Amino acid sequence: MDVTTVASWQQLPRAAHLPGTVVVIDLLRATSTVVAALASGAREVVPVAEVAQAQECARPGDLLAGERGGLPIPGFDLSNSPREAHVAPLAGRRVILTTTNGTRAVRRAVRAGAQRILLTALLNVSATARAVEGTQRLTLLCAGTAGQASLDDLFCAGALLHRLAPREVDDLGLAARELYAAHRDHPVDYLSLCAHGRRLLQLGLVQDLEFCCREDALPLVAAYVDGSVGRA
C-alpha cells in the first residue's frame, strides 16, 4: 500500500487525478456528522458545495443540514453537529449536507476521478481501516481550513495510518501518525488547542468536540457512490 496525504482539498489541483481509493477526512465536523447521521438510520447523505445547491436538490421529506463559519444555516433543519445528527429522527431519511470544507473535499475527490471514496472520522476509523486493507494506492484527503492544514484532520489521518501497515507513506502521513501516537490518550485536550477546536469552544460546542473524539463509537463504513454517502 502506497499512501499520499493531502493537507487540504484546496491544495489539490483542479486537474489532479487520484487513482485508487480516497479517504476524505474532516474530523471537526463534516465526516463525523455524516457517520453519525448514517448510524442514526439516515438512508443517505448527499454532500454539496453550496447552500443554494442544497436547497435546489432537496425533495419532499429530505432534511437540510450544514454550517457556514461553524454556525447553523438559517432555515435548515440541522446544523453540522454529529451530536445532533446522532439523536435526530433520521431513519430512512435523505440528508442534504453542505459545509465550509468537508463536503467540498468530497466533491473534489469526485472530480479527481477516484475509483473509490470513503469518509472517515475517529468515530469509525477502525472500520475504515479494515475497509481499505489490500488497497494498493490510498490518498488521505484532509478537508483542512482556509486552504491550510488542520491539526484535527491530520490527527484523524494519523489514527487511520496507525491501524494500517502501508509500504510507503509520505512525510505528511508519517508526521500525522506520530502526532496521533503522541496524543491519542487525551484527544479532547489536545484538539482543544488547535484552531478548529478553539473555534468550537468559542461557539459553545465543546460537546461536539468531545463527541468527535469518541474513537470507534460508530463502527460503520461510509462510502460515496453515485452522488451520495451511505453505509458500505
pLDDT digits 0-9 by tens, 48-95 = 999 999 999 999 999 999 999 999 999 999 999 999 999 999 999 999
Q: Are 46 and 95 in contact (CB under 8 A)?
A: yes
- Residue 175 belongs to domain spanning: 2-224
pLDDT greater than 90 at residue 15: no
Residue 19 is predicted with a pLDDT of: 86
Whether 229 is covered by a domain: the verdict is no
Q: Does residue 231 lie within any of the structural domains?
A: no
Query: Within a domain: residue 230?
Result: no
pLDDT at 26: 98
Give the chain's domain count.
Answer: 1
- What pTM was computed for the model? 0.97
Cα angle 8, 113, 54 (rounded to 5 degrees) comes to: 70
Q: What's the pLDDT at 143?
A: 97
With 90 as the cut, is the pLDDT of residue 14 above it?
A: no
Instruction: Indicate whether 119 belongs to any domain.
Output: yes
Give 108's strand partners.
none
Classify residue 135: in a domain, yes or no: yes
Query: For 171-180, what is each residue's pLDDT tens digit?
Result: 999 999 999 9
Here the cell at position 15 is 486537474
pLDDT digits (tens, 9 = 90+) for 135-179: 999 999 999 998 999 999 999 999 999 999 887 899 999 999 999
With respect to residue 52, please indicate whether it lies within any of the assigned structural domains.
yes
188 pLDDT exceeds 90? yes
Between 165 and 223, where is the model more confident?
223
Q: Tell whether 142 is covered by a domain.
A: yes
Q: For residue 149, what is the DSSP state?
A: -
The answer to whether position 153 is within a domain reads: yes
The pLDDT score that the predictor gives to residue 140 is 98
CATH code at 6?
Answer: 3.90.1560.10
